[in-house]
A and B are shown apart, each in its own frame.
Chain A
């Protein structure tokens, strides 16, 4: 009897422990922690700062951008001179030579960028991440938003412990169903269309189906009542 009782408590106990595990599992913020383990030493240090000893290192999981998307491709995709001419993603002043720049507001040109979660929900302003004038291109070598140090210089201001991998979250998402998402973020694009077809398909089948069954049952009920 007691053994049986004990057995019946086992799943409940397991459930409670699991619940506690899910809710309270937390680890110290690794990116800012002191180096404590010889095995993790290199990885943690490199990921948190982008530097290993005095050398600038590539983040482990996220290589810094070496191509200029949509501009150049091939075996040797990047040339600093070409990039500065064709693309604004690597300039020290990304708004160089834009007419009447002094009289414009960010949202005059970057409309979509002012409407994502960070701006709408968290009320961040552009300059809180992109910095003051002159605003460097995000891939400029010394920009705080350069992928090699973005996590430590920008993300970690709010998200304590942000790693280089974490910083590859796309803040200014392309519109998920758009053609630009298809080229720029294909996984997002295909996930979006898959979910949309699933959503619309399920409802388009089950709503009319259930409604018509209801209608049919109504007629049957009426006929029965008449009989």
Chain B
């Protein structure tokens, strides 16, 4: 029997949602970039992977439709997570992802800590940067979905809106996608992989658990609360199997490398594109 040195952080549903988002996002980024950069040699090569300019769009539409469905299913799932009997605590409590004043305080404390001017913040279950990651998807995805559907069905949309709204939709779709791609492939990847406390990979989202020692160091308020409520032991778990770790390391790094490949080439060829 292996010692229970880890603490459960993500359930199977959360991890499946993340995996789904990873796969659809990387497909959207690659097919989108292949079309955005089609006037460059690199963009043309990238589009060949997906069968060319036209086929890349078909894949982009399919993956986008899947994303919309995933988003709606996730929203329904989210509604089932709210404890309606204890609504206020469920929304603003420490187990909720809704931002609150503590996040502002933690951000300030952490900034001071960076420069050696104070102690690190006593973070709870969800930190402010994790909340930002979560909500960034939550408003970015509907924006991309609505503008994407507008561009997918322009004739129908033009029965309700003037045609020039498609100019705006195109601009919003492109700018939001560039924002999402650069945020995920630079900031999110750095936090999840390159940050010394995560290096070489923060496994929480794949194994579902994190080392208890690490959690105590980074999120002391969470562990303390669990101890006080007597819930810690129930959440303690064993490390993941080696074969499973190998799988998610290979998969995670494949996506990571591909993402970095896209962002580096995107930066190199950025002079060939405009935001609108």
Q: Which A residues have a C-beta under 8 Å from some C-beta of B?
A: 11, 15, 18-19, 22-23, 25, 27, 29-30, 61-62, 120-121, 159, 161-163, 165-170, 173, 175-177, 185, 187-188, 191-192, 195-196, 198-199, 202-203, 206-207, 209-218, 220-221
User: Can you pick out 26 interface pairs between chain A and chain B where the beta carbons lie within 8 Å of each other?
Assistant: A15-B73, A19-B65, A23-B65, A29-B155, A121-B38, A163-B159, A165-B158, A165-B163, A166-B154, A169-B164, A169-B167, A173-B276, A176-B274, A188-B167, A191-B172, A192-B175, A195-B171, A195-B175, A199-B182, A203-B183, A207-B186, A211-B190, A213-B114, A217-B195, A218-B196, A221-B196
Contacts A207-B187, A218-B196; is A166 near B158 (CB within 8 Å)?
yes
A-B pair number, CB within 8 angstroms: 135
- Say whether B153 faces chain A, with CB atoms less than 8 Å apart: yes
A199 contacts B178, CB within 8 Å? yes
A18 contacts B156, CB within 8 Å? no
Residue of B nearest to A213 (CB): B114
B275 contacts A176, CB within 8 Å? yes
- Say whether B234 faces chain A, with CB atoms less than 8 Å apart: no
Judged by DSSP, the binding face of A is helix
Query: Which residue of the partner chain, among B113, B155, B194, B276, contacts A192 with CB atoms under 8 Å?
Result: B276
Q: How far does the Cβ of B255 sit from chain A's closest Cβ, in whole Å?
A: 19
Residue of B nearest to A12 (CB): B73
A202 contacts B179, CB within 8 Å? yes
B149 contacts A22, CB within 8 Å? yes
> Which residues of B in the span 143-195 have a Cβ within 8 Å of any Cβ on A?
149, 153-156, 158-159, 161-164, 166-168, 171-172, 175-176, 178-179, 182-183, 186-187, 190-191, 194-195
- Say whether B61 faces chain A, with CB atoms less than 8 Å apart: yes
Q: Give Cα A45–Cα B4 distance, bound, in whole angstroms.
A: 73
Q: How far does the Cβ of A10 sit from chain B's closest Cβ, in whole Å?
A: 10
Q: How far does the Cβ of A175 sit from chain B's closest Cβ, in whole Å?
A: 8
A18 contacts B72, CB within 8 Å? yes
**Which residues of chain B are near A175, meaning CB under 8 Å?**
274, 276
Q: How far does the Cβ of A108 sit from chain B's closest Cβ, in whole Å?
A: 22
Q: How far does the Cβ of B196 sit from chain A's closest Cβ, in whole Å?
A: 4
Residue of A nearest to B191 (CB): A210
Contacts A29-B155, A210-B187; is A11 near B164 (CB within 8 Å)?
no
**Which residues of chain A are near B186, meaning CB under 8 Å?**
203, 207
Q: Give Cα A14–Cα B41 distance, bound, in whole angstroms.
A: 42
